[in-house]
Amino acid sequence: MLKGKHIILGITGSIAAYKSAVLCRLLVSAGAEVKVVMTPLAKQFITPLTMATVSQHPILVDFFNPENGEWNSHVKLGEWADLYLIAPATANTMAKMATGVADNLLLTTYLSARCPVAVAPAMDLDMYAHVATQRNIEQLRRDGVHIVEPGSGFLASGLVGKGRMAEPEHIVEAVSAILEEKKKSLEGKHFLVTAGATIEPIDPVRFISNHSSGKMGYAVAEALSERGAEVTLVSGRTSLATPKGVKRVDVLSAEDMWQECVARFPECDGAVMCAAVADYTPSVVAEQKLKKGDSDMTLELRRTKDIAATLGANKGKRVLVGFAMETEHEQQNAVGKLERKNFDFIVLNSLRTEGAGFRGDTNVVTLIDREHSQPLPLMSKHEVAEKIVDKIEEFL
C-alpha cells in the first residue's frame, strides 16, 4: 500500500520526536518516499541530520534558504504529497491547525495540502485531557484530519497516563489504512475512459493513425479502478495488458469509438477522454488494395465526429475530463478545447516538453479548469493519473 506513495512527515517539538526516525525508516522501508518538515523547536529534539539521513531528503524548516533565498514552496510540497502525517503533533501545533494559524512551514504546508492529513498527538496526560486540547482535536476531526490516538504509559513528565505518541508500527498501519480508504473512495461510481490511437482505413492494407500507445489512458483507467470505480475502457489499438478489474472494449476507428462512447456514457458518472482520435478519415475506403500508379495520389478526407464534444453537450452533472496534445500556443488552445467541448477540466501536454506526451512512461501536464491552471512536474504516467483522479474527486 505504501509503495511509491509520497508522504510528508511533519515533526513538532515533543520528546516523542525521537520515535520519528524509526517511523520514517519504517515508511521508507515499506517503499514510500518521505520528505520531512520540522518546526524550529523540533530541531531541539531530533537533529535534521538524523532525519535527512533516514528520509534520504534534505529537511525543510524555514520558508526559504537564508544562504541563497530559494523558497521552500509549501504549495508544491502540498501538491506532491499523497498523505501528510504529523508525528509527533503537540497540543500547540494542533491548536494552530484547528484555527488556521500559519506561522511556520509545517503549518502553511498543512493549509496547502490537498491530500489526507493524519496527526499522532504526543503530550503530557493533563495537557491531552484538557478541554481546550480535546476541543481542538474534535475540530480537526470535523475538518477531516485523521487522529492516530495516543497510548497510555510512562510520560516524559514522570507521570503515567494517556498522551504517549502511538508506536511507529501502529502509525504505519494507520497510514496504510487511510491510503486504503482513499483508494476505495470511488466505489459505486462508473467511469468511461478512452485510450490509444484510432485507425482510419484507407484500403484493406493501409491506414491513418498516430503515435498514441495508450499508456496514459490505461494509467487513468487503472487509477480509477484502484479507487473502487467501475471502469469501461474504450481502447484504440495498443499492445498493453488490460488493467486489473477494468472492462475493455476494443475499437478501431473514430466512428467505432464514437458509437461505443455515446452508447455507454448515459450510465456513467464521468468520462476521461485520453484517446488520440483522428479528426479526419478517408471519405472512401477502397475495397481492394490501392495499386500504385505513375502519378501522385490525393486522398480525400472527411471530418470525424467529435466524441468529447458530443458527450460534453449531454454531460448533465457528470464529470468530463479532456486531454489536449499541443505543439504551440498550448495554454490558449487547451482553454479553447475546455470551453468548446464543455470539459470540467483539461489535461494539457505538449510535444515541446521533454518527457511529455506519446509513448514514454512519463508525462508533464498542466491541469486546467475554469478558475485554475496547475502545472505539475515530470512524473510517471501513473502518478499523473493519480493527480487526475484526485481532481476528478474534487468535482464529484
Catalytic residues: 210
Residues 325-344 that bind ligand PMT (CB under 6 A): 325, 337, 341
Residues 126-185 that bind ligand PMT (CB under 6 A): none
- The half-sphere exposure of 164 on its side-chain side, counting CA atoms within 13 A, is 15
CB of 389 to ligand PMT, least distance (A): 15
* DSSP-assigned states of every residue in 358-379: SSSSEE-EEEE-SS-EEE--SE
CB of 276 to ligand PMT, least distance (A): 4
According to the binding rule CB under 6 A, does residue 186 interact with ligand PMT?
Answer: no
Cell of 313: 453537450
Please pick, from the candidates 10, 13, 78, 357, the single residue that binds ligand PMT as defined by CB under 6 A. Answer: 357
Angle between helix 381-395 and helix 215-226 axes, rounded to 10 deg:
50
C-beta of 204 vs 336, nearer to ligand PMT: 336
According to the binding rule CB under 6 A, does residue 235 interact with ligand PMT?
Answer: no
Please pick, from the candidates 279, 339, 354, 394, the single residue that binds ligand PMT as defined by CB under 6 A. Answer: 279
Question: What is the rounded CA–CA span in Å between residue 343 and residue 325?
Answer: 15
Residues 364-383 that bind ligand PMT (CB under 6 A): none
Output DSSP code: residue 253: S
Nearest to 367 by CA among 390, 350, 348: 348
Cell of 233: 475502457
According to the binding rule CB under 6 A, does residue 324 interact with ligand PMT?
Answer: yes
Cα–Cα distances (Å) from 250 to 161, 274, 311, in that order, read 62, 15, 19
Cell of 96: 494552530
C-beta of 306 vs 369, nearer to ligand PMT: 306
CB of 130 to ligand PMT, least distance (A): 53
Question: What is the rounded CA–CA span in Å between residue 262 and residue 340?
Answer: 18
Please pick, from the candidates 14, 55, 90, 213, the single residue that binds ligand PMT as defined by CB under 6 A. Answer: 213
Please pick, from the candidates 358, 374, 393, 395, the single residue that binds ligand PMT as defined by CB under 6 A. Answer: 358
According to the binding rule CB under 6 A, does residue 350 interact with ligand PMT?
Answer: no
Residues with Cβ within 8 Å of residue 106, at least 6 apart in sequence: 10, 11, 12, 37, 38, 39, 86, 93
CB of 250 to ligand PMT, least distance (A): 15
According to the binding rule CB under 6 A, does residue 268 interact with ligand PMT?
Answer: no
Please pick, from the candidates 254, 271, 368, 388, the single residue that binds ligand PMT as defined by CB under 6 A. Answer: 254
40 three-class SS = helix
According to the binding rule CB under 6 A, does residue 20 interact with ligand PMT?
Answer: no
Q: How many residues line the site for ligand PMT (CB under 6 A)?
A: 29
Residues with Cβ within 8 Å of residue 266, at least 6 apart in sequence: 314
Question: What is the rounded CA–CA span in Å between residue 300 and residue 367?
Answer: 36
Nearest to 26 by CA among 4, 55, 46: 55
According to the binding rule CB under 6 A, does residue 215 interact with ligand PMT?
Answer: yes
Q: How far apart are the first and last CA of the chain?
A: 24
According to the binding rule CB under 6 A, does residue 308 interact with ligand PMT?
Answer: yes
Cell of 208: 491513418
C-beta of 78 vs 214, nearer to ligand PMT: 214
According to the binding rule CB under 6 A, does residue 391 interact with ligand PMT?
Answer: no
C-beta of 7 vs 321, nearer to ligand PMT: 321
C-beta of 117 vs 254, nearer to ligand PMT: 254
The residues of the shown chain that bind ligand PMT, judged by CB under 6 A, are: 194, 196, 212-217, 254, 273-277, 279, 304, 306-308, 322-325, 337, 341, 349, 357-359
